[in-house]
Amino acid sequence: MSHVPFPVIAKHDIRQGRSLIEKGTCGEIIGISGTTPCYYSVIFWPHGADGTFVRFDYLTRYDVREA
């Protein structure tokens, strides 16, 4: 199975636990649920692509948009 990156951007501030991703932060979808409604697993780079990443699960299309 090959991994094809799907770049996205946070549509609004997203908080899960102690992690906060600000609106406009770039990320990449790394997984999609097989259920309806569809949920996404996304990694975001709050400090740029060379910095650390934060993984968020159970996001919807209302949380992210295509970059």
Q: What is the pLDDT of residue 52?
A: 86
Q: Where are the domains of the chain?
A: 6-66
Do residues 25 and 45 touch, judged by C-beta distance below 8 A? Answer: yes
Confidence of residue 61 (pLDDT cuts 50, 70, 90): very high
State pLDDT tens for residues 4-46: 679 999 999 999 988 899 999 999 999 998 888 899 999 999 8
Q: Exposed/middle/buried for 52, CB within 10 Å: 0-12, 13-18, 19+?
A: exposed
Selected residue with higher pLDDT from 9 and 48: 9
Out of 1.10.3470, 2.30.30, 3.30.70, 2.60.40, select the CATH number for domain 6-66: 2.30.30
Total-model pTM: 0.84
Whether 62 shows a pLDDT value over 60: the answer reads yes
